[in-house]
Amino acid sequence: MPKLHFRYEVDGDDFTRAGEASSKLKQSLKQLGLSPQLVRRAAIAMYEGEINMVAHADGGVIDVDIDTVAITIVMKDTGKGIEDIGQAMKEGFSTASEEVRQMGFGAGMGLPNMKKHSDYMKVDSEVGVGTTVTMKISIADE
């Protein structure tokens, strides 16, 4: 399979469109003939990241690279950043607004779900500068 690159822009504060980028990625991965399980994991991991971008960071940009080894998803925003990454990674910890919680998010599951559905995840964040989350989902291990 040739190396492929996709880029998606995510709007901030628009929950009605959250998930569009993940849906598009899912369609592209399906067309590439990747296994349904792999496609599902990538789509779920990226959707959680999309929700975080909309809820906490006023949107951002997602770059996805696919080669024979892995799907690499890099989600970059210029939002407010994460003060304590270790705390943010804990299930149940959330700083989401009441509005976000009423929609069924903000349960402190986002980052843990992203970790669960990827084989590698790294969070780089600086308060006031932004956050970059890199996830890899192995293709070779299947």
Partner 1 sequence: MSAARFSTEDLAASLGFTPLNQARLPAREITSVYCGDLLSHVMGTAPEGSAWVTVMNNINVIAVASLAEVACVIMAAGSRPNEDVIARADEQGVLLFSGAGQIFETAFQVHEKLQL
In the set 109, 124, 132, 138, which binds partner 1 (CB under 8 A)? 109
Task: Please name the residue that has the structure tokens 């959707």.
Answer: 47
In the set 43, 62, 88, 121, which binds partner 1 (CB under 8 A)? 43
Strand arrangement of the beta sheet that strand 120-126 belongs to: 4-11, 59-66, 70-77, 130-138, 120-126
Using the rule CB under 8 A, give the single segment among 58-66, 67-75, 102-110, 121-129 that binds partner 1.
Answer: 102-110
Is there binding between residue 8 and partner 1 (CB under 8 A)?
A: no
- Bridge partners of residue 132, in order along the sequence: 76, 124
Is there binding between residue 51 and partner 1 (CB under 8 A)?
A: yes
Q: How far apart are CA 101 and CA 91, in angstroms?
A: 15
Using the rule CB under 8 A, give the single segment among 4-12, 82-90, 106-114, 120-128 that binds partner 1.
Answer: 106-114
